[in-house]
Amino acid sequence: MAVDRSLIGRSTGRRRVVVERGPVAVFAEAVKDPDPVYRDAAAAREAGFSSVPVPPTFPFVMAHWGALADLQGAGSGGEGEAALLEVLAPLLRAGGLLLHGEQEFEYHSPILVGDVLTGEGRVADVYEKETPGATMTFVVTETTWRHDSSGEVAVVARSNTLVRLPRAGS
């Protein structure tokens, strides 16, 4: 099954989020990070932050925690995710196995509780690799999160999702 490389550059949507203390603390707990800086405002101040910072991998869930419906405008939500589904859905229907390949975060400035950020996502790459028993289709997405207050980039989050589709007879 040939992969449609014309999807590269397509939007995966826009999200506006408010970074809230509760989700930050729950996330830190979920990833087993014991550092009090992610839970305690006094510990964050002692560490030199003006507010509680987010754990390094928090942007992975940011679009889901804090993307309140009344903050979203045009270009947010499901229509952008259609680009991903155009690649993934036919492979999954054919019996493919969906896997999370890797995640990368390139920080440009700290993200703190109380920040309002807007993320713009896009399909950065689509490619295939052959293995002895399957075809692996990779979809790389990239979301650039900017501080609403300044427009400056806070973090660029990249994710590699893959589908392993066994070849007939494998």
pLDDT tens profile 134-162: 999 999 999 999 999 999 999 999 999 99
Amino acid at 37: V
Q: Give me the residue label for tokens 């007879």.
A: 169
pLDDT at site 74: 56
Residue 113 CA to chain centroid, in angstroms?
A: 18
- pLDDT (0 to 100) of residue 90: 83
Tell me the two tokens of residue 112.
């703190």
What is the pLDDT at residue 33? 96
Angle (CA) 118-122-125 rounded to 5° is 150
Find residue 105's DSSP bridge partners.
157
Low-confidence ranges of the chain (pLDDT < 70): 1, 66-68, 70, 72-83, 169-170
Q: Render 109-164 in DSSP notation, one character per residue.
A: S--BTT-EEEEEEEEEEEEEEE-SSEEEEEEEEEEEEEETTT--EEEEEEEEEEEE
pLDDT value, residue 85? 77
Residue ranges and CATH numbers for the domains of the chain are 5-20+53-166 (3.10.129.10)
Residue 169 has what pLDDT?
64
Note the pLDDT of residue 83.
66
- The predicted pLDDT at position 77 comes to 53
